[in-house]
Amino acid sequence: MIELPTVEDLTHAAEDDALLLWAAQGLRGGARAFRHGGAVAVASPGLSGRDRIAVRGPLSDAVPLVRGVLDRCGPSYRPLGDRALLAELAEPVGHRYLGSFGWMSVTGSLSPATGAAAARWLTPAELPEAAALLDRHFASSYAHPGRPGATAWAGVRDEADRLTAIAADAWSSPEVGLLAGVATDPSHGRGRGHAEAACRLVLDTQLRRSGRAALLVDSWNTAAIRLYRRLGLEWREIAACAA
């Protein structure tokens, strides 16, 4: 197992894989990258609420690589990668397969806007209101104004000055921005393009900054997936496993 000391080394070894470059977080904050044969793995602590190992490559190389990374970094790390690989990887590394979900990403620019709603960046004084919206309508969100991870929150207000939709720039790496914490008040914001406007502001900012943006979404969340496809993001099925 060879450690990759720079983002440039990782980019070359992982063939510019956006998932691994996001996980690397610029190889800061304790993130480390490794290669074994044709497999590459990135161990990243506290990434989107978990200690994670993003991995790619042939199973024959990925299994010893992930075993080695777990030995070096600790048992709290959860492998993450393409569904087909993770379904075969879990048992040999002593983990249970947790199921699949979506990694959706876009490069360059978003699809044209379809609504008239306008989003803006929230001020620190508005973050308690954003936290309350999340607590009511997306309590399982890893991104939250009261926890580390998110660096900025976008929001939309209605005619009555109610905060109706929010989205966060969270756990972004220098190479790949991550959209997270998307929530809508169903009584006042749903069906009005408010969530789309909040997501668009975050994603546009990330694309201007990094050239690529992505998000994680549950496979059952068809309404959210439709929104993200409408924005121009493409689907990639990934999965996770854990001890």
CA proximity to 101, closest of 235, 203, 198, 213: 235
Count of domains observed in the chain: 2
C-beta neighbour count of 154 within 10 angstroms: 26
Tokens of residue 178, six digits: 């991550």
The answer to whether residues 113 and 194 belong to one domain is: yes
Which of 100, 125, 151 is where one domain is finished?
100
> pTM for this structure?
0.94
228 in any annotated domain: no
Query: Residue 215 domain-assigned?
Result: no
Whether 234 is in a domain gets the answer no
pLDDT of residue 211: 97
CA distance 120 to 125: 14
Specify the pLDDT at position 187. Answer: 79
Q: What is the pLDDT of residue 9?
A: 98
Are both 64 and 94 inside the same structural domain?
Answer: yes
24 and 71 share one domain: yes
Residues 54 and 146 in one domain: no
Q: DSSP readout, 164-199? A: EEEEEEES--SS-EEEEEEEE-TTTTTTTTHHHHHH
Note the pLDDT of residue 186. 87
Residue 75 and residue 29 share a domain: yes
Is 76 found in the same domain as 132?
Answer: no
pLDDT value at position 189?
A: 60
> In degrees rounded to 5, what are phi and psi of residue 121?
-75, 135
**pLDDT of res. 16:** 98
Are 85 and 113 in the same domain?
no
143 within a domain of the structure (yes/no): yes
In a domain, 222, yes or no: no
96 and 123 in a single domain? The answer is no
Domain boundaries, position 73: 2-100
pLDDT for 181: 98
Residue 21, SS3 per DSSP: helix
Same domain for 202 and 155? yes
- What parts of the chain have a pLDDT lower than 70? 188-189
- Closest by Cα among 21, 85, 43, 73 to 240: 85
Regarding whether 197 and 114 lie in a shared domain, the answer is yes
Residue 43: inside a domain:
yes
Compute the C-alpha angle 166/197/142, nearest 5°: 30
- Domain CATH code at residue 129: 3.40.630.30
User: In this structure, is residue 156 part of a structural domain?
Assistant: yes
> Does 181 share its domain with 131?
yes
Residue 216 lies in a domain: no
Q: Are 21 and 68 members of one domain?
A: yes
